[in-house]
């Protein structure tokens, strides 16, 4: 039995069982077609992924998590993008490589896992030799992570919540903390310790796991718990990225329900979180400062490169 099947679809922890090949839509909103909103060089990932050349980011439409503060809400809701065939997705990978991308970076891809696995296999047979990055919310099934062992080189995973009540409030996923920790553990087993090669005198990540944590307004305590959980479980087997780029993009109607999300994270709270990371023994983690913490990183969903 293929773990990556889409009918019935149990690719994500929602286990909705939609028969997508027969026209049903999953909880994520996806049906039978692979829908891509943008495929272009992206310069705002962590340094060993973007470098100076850029990461070859392929942004997929739809998402199973539906976070209320989503920065990419337009594509997560399927309001942008167009269907592509497996053959076209394979060509996109090769086109990004030809543009000098350090990697192919699949963003929110899990609900299209089967098609992506096939497209990557075909692209590699046609000369694709840059790493494949799986850019995920962290809300993954460990079984699916293992099934992608022959496809994914680098896992770029969020760990959004250490608090199940916050996960329920913002993503309707109270099981998020334990599910994401199990998924990250599977990623470490699959990809191993971080390894790098050299591109133009700078390190490029070839294999391994980067775990991101985005600090949310009013949630300093849960961010500290998140880092503590991660470091106590994974130590230096993964790289860490502590982010403060949260930008309030929700409509006013939603902000009335979540007023605590109406502002950015104060600099002093972010500094306190970084100090806490230091006290845990984290070394060489990625962090944001200056203009990087002020930009929303929201591309135009104009189907560029699709």
What string of DSSP letters covers 76-106?
HTT-S-EEE-HHHHHHHHHHHHHTT-SSEEE
Residue 156: what pLDDT?
98
Residue 183: what pLDDT?
98
Residue 2: what pLDDT?
81
Rounded to an integer, the average pLDDT of 58-64 is 98
Question: Comparing C-alpha atoms, which of 114, 176, 174 is closest to residue 150?
Answer: 114
Q: Any residues with CB less than 8 A from the CB of 74 and at least 6 apart, and which?
A: 37, 80, 301
Rounded to an integer, the average pLDDT of 276-289 is 93
Are the CB atoms for 152 and 207 separated by under 8 Å? no
Give the span between the Cα atoms of 156 and 29, in whole angstroms.
Answer: 23
pTM of the full predicted structure?
A: 0.96
Question: Residue 278 in 3-state DSSP?
Answer: helix
Which pLDDT tens digit goes with each residue over 94-108? Answer: 999 999 999 999 999
Residue 87: what pLDDT?
98
Question: Comparing C-alpha atoms, which of 233, 219, 232, 223 is closest to residue 185?
Answer: 233
Average pLDDT, the chain: 95
Q: What is the CATH number of domain 40-293?
A: 3.20.20.70
Are the CB atoms for 91 and 136 separated by under 8 Å? no
**Domain ranges (residues) in the chain:** 40-293
Give percent of the chain above pLDDT 90: 91
**Does residue 129 have a cis bond before it (omega within 30 degrees)?**
no
């Amino acid at each position: 039995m293929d773990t990556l099947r889409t009918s019935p679809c149990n690719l994500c922890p929602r286990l909705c069982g939609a028969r997508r090949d027969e026209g049903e839509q999953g909880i994520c909103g996806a049906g039978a077609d692979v829908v891509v909103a943008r495929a272009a060089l992206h310069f705002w990932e962590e340094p060993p992924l973007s470098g100076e050349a850029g990461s070859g980011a392929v942004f997929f439409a739809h998402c199973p998590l539906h976070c209320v503060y989503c920065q990419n809400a337009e594509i997560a809701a399927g309001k942008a993008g167009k269907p592509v065939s497996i053959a076209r997705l394979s060509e996109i990978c090769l086109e990004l490589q030809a543009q000098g991308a350090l990697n192919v970076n699949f963003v929110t891809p899990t609900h299209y896992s089967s098609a992506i696995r096939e497209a990557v296999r075909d692209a590699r047979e046609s000369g694709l030799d840059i790493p494949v990055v799986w850019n995920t919310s962290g809300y993954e099934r460990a079984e699916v992570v293992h099934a992608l062992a022959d496809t994914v080189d680098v896992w770029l995973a969020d760990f959004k919540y250490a608090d199940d009540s916050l996960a329920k409030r913002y993503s309707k996923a109270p099981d998020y903390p334990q599910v994401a920790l199990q998924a990250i553990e599977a990623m470490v087993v699959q990809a191993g310790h971080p390894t790098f090669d050299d591109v133009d005198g700078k390190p490029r990540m070839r294999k391994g796991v980067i775990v991101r944590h985005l600090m949310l307004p009013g949630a300093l305590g849960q961010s500290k718990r998140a880092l503590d959980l991660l470091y106590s479980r994974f130590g230096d087997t993964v790289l860490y990225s502590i982010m403060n780029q949260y930008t309030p993009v929700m409509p006013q109607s939603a902000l009335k329900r979540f007023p605590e999300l109406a502002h950015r994270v104060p600099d002093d709270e972010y500094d306190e979180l970084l100090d806490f990371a230091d006290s845990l023994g984290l070394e060489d983690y990625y962090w944001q400062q200056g203009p990087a913490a002020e930009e929303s990183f929201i591309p135009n969903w104009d189907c560029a490169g699709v």
